[in-house]
Amino acid sequence: MRAARSDPEAAWPPPISPDETDEEKDVRLEQEREAKRVSDAIDLALNSEKEAKKKTVHGAKILLLGQAESGKSTILKNMQLHFSPTAFHAEAELWRPVIHLNLVRSVNFILNLLAPRSSGTTSPTSSLPLDDSARRLVFSLAPLKSVETSLTKRISGSASTVDIDNKSTSADTPYSHYNPAKAPEIAVRSGAGWKGLLKFRRQSGAVSSPEDMQNRRIINACADDIMALWRNPNVQEKLRQEEIFLKDQPGFFLEDVERLTKEDYLPTPDDVLRARVNTIGPEEHRIPMESSLENGNGKDWIVYDVGGDRSQRAAWAQFFDTVTVIIFLAPVSAFNQALAEDETVNRLADSMKLWRMICTNKLLASVDLILLLNKIDILDTQLKAGVQFGKYVTSYRDKPNETEAVSKYLLDMFTALHKQHSPSKKRKMHPHLTCAIDTKATATVITHIQEVILIKTLSQTNIL
């Protein structure tokens, strides 16, 4: 983990220069006033949320577990859409800067991929020359670097974010931590209250500042070039040779550019489900039941969404003794991927290790487990493209390289782990094959989760 930068430019407020002019002083004071205004707005939003929580009658407590990028946040958003559709749609506008940032970061990732690598690189694409159209696009899309900086500041309250690999990442230099395997994500600290801050700005009439409008104009002006960049054969060849599959990564919107870049664009529910913000640390979410028929008594559900990478897993245990059910997500499409934190560890093997840990824990002996083998759609695409499951999971041997056979094999493996390691033979496991961005299919899964919770609640009150 890198230490925080100690240079003067990283400090806030910045040191006052002894040679400061009157104009520079005015600029500095205005920046300090703006920083305080943003800080006060965040505090107000957090305090309002805290007061609302005090007045809420709590219902079921649900813990979302799984490694990073397993789909926990997408399942959470599906639950919010299912139980609180009015509130979900009312907040759709707040996701627009996030979606635009997802789009811009994908573009800047490609631009970085096209940039010449250092002489010591082993990249197979470093020697591939760019055609004239690609070189023109690199130049014409350069303004999106400043848009990324602005949007990052808009969402996180600062010009830098927390990198998911625990490195400090400055949005002013978006390519300083180039990862050749995946496009970068915005990561914010838990409790940052970015939605609350944007909601406060909207309520105060400041949701569309001059800077916001400028960002949207730049994105709109770059729309044709963004589409041309994504369709450019030179770009597609580079992505193919680097084995980079942007389509399968969270926050991918490069095939929706024309719609997303319109000045009157408003995110759809599907857009919100696909949008990606990586929160560092555990987050507590309350899902109000807009219809009292949804859970029988109108109580809110409390959902804990905890970080999935290795550095955050120690925080899981603090929630074990209070939850009603655990929803565990295992991304089955990750069978040919390594952990971002440790490239020697296969992601599927890591998911199975985590699942075994959950099944073994005696504190969870009476907690029902809901297993979601997620991203089944991506698994299907991979297998149809010829990726051999047995190459990465040698125990699969010569079984058919087909989605039905592979998914059954995985389901059997996870079921066997639960049966073998569960401290209680009475505890139930409820498995599902899921695609979290498929709202209709996921709604069926959520209904089943609701039934599990209802039965659990009734049994605890001796009604069953």
Residue positions forming the annotated binding site for Mg(2+): 279
- Residues 250 and 105: beta-carbon distance below 8 Å: no
Residue 133: Cβ-neighbour burial (10 angstroms; 0-12, 13-18, 19+): middle
Residues belonging to the binding site are 273-279, 374-377, 436
Token reading at 37 = 């205004």
- Residues 413 and 352: beta-carbon distance below 8 Å: yes
How far apart CA 133 and CA 79 sit, in angstroms, is 44
> 76-81 contacts: CB < 8 A, separation 24 or more?
76/285, 76/303, 76/305, 77/272, 77/273, 78/273, 78/436, 78/439, 78/442, 78/443, 78/446, 79/287, 79/301, 79/303, 79/446, 80/285, 80/287, 81/269, 81/272, 81/273, 81/439
Residues belonging to the binding site for GTP are 273-279, 374-377, 436
Distances (CA, A) of 396 to 247, 393, 402: 27, 6, 12
Phi, psi of 175 (to 5 degrees): -105, 10
- Residues 106 and 253: beta-carbon distance below 8 Å: yes
Which are the contacts of 405, defined by CB distance < 8 A and separation ≥ 6? 399
- Amino acid occupying residue 220: N
- Residues 355 and 417: beta-carbon distance below 8 Å: yes
Distances (CA, A) of 250 to 118, 219, 254: 28, 20, 12
Distances (CA, A) of 427 to 364, 394, 407, 458: 9, 31, 23, 16
Phi, psi of 123 (to 5 degrees): -60, 130
Q: Which residue matches tokens 């565990």?
A: 328
